[in-house]
Amino acid sequence: MKTFGCFDKKAYLCAQKHHTMAIQYRLLQNKIKGSKNYNKYYAHTMRRGTMSLEDIEKMIEESCSAKASDVRLVLRELFDTVKFCMQMGYTVDLKEMGKFSISVKSVCVDNPSEFRRDRHIIGFKCNYTPQGRRYTIENAKRRIHRGLLDGCEAEPYHQSHQRNTPKGQK
């Protein structure tokens, strides 16, 4: 059975077919004194590990006719093209993946005539907004539906479960 980093092909295909992707959590107690939620419990996400680019390439290779090397080539070109477009000042909309853009970070000045690019621009920030659509619920509260979260479920983390990490990572 082929493995994708931390799980096998059969588990991946089963989860993909049934759209079951459980996010594991454990309960932690808030220990921040002065917080209105002091001593209350909240769900904390348990990460399973990290999926590398190579793991993703293998997963895609197994689910379509493209080879891992083809996937790598396309992803590399996608990165270079997105970077170029963002640095030209565009927002890049990758549909289901979301939107990417760059914003400028600067310090404030009292008067626009005092602003100097070399002194007051202090960096750049990469912005990511997951794809979503707005909708309204019964009390006229507005929400955003995020496609990346479709099929997501939560399940309690059990100490007996091992944290699976792709080969070579700890």
| Burial environment of residue 153 by CB neighbours within 10 A (0 to 12, 13 to 18, 19 or more) | exposed
Q: What is the span of the domain harbouring residue 35?
A: 3-156
SS3 category, 17: helix
Joined together, the tokens standing for residue 82 give 């997105």
Say how many domains are in the chain.
1
Give domain status of residue 167, yes or no. Answer: no
Give domain status of residue 33, yes or no. Answer: yes
Residue 137, pLDDT score:
85
The confidence band for 9, taking pLDDT boundaries of 50, 70 and 90, is low
Indicate which CATH number applies to the domain containing 117: 4.10.520.10
Mean pLDDT of 18-44: 90
pLDDT digits (tens, 9 = 90+) for 60-110: 999 999 999 999 999 999 999 999 999 999 999 999 999 999 999 999 999
Place of tokens 């209105």: 36
Give domain status of residue 119, yes or no. Answer: yes
Mean pLDDT for the chain overall: 86
Mean pLDDT of 154-163: 72
Give domain status of residue 80, yes or no. Answer: yes
Query: Could you tell me the pTM of the whole model?
Result: 0.69
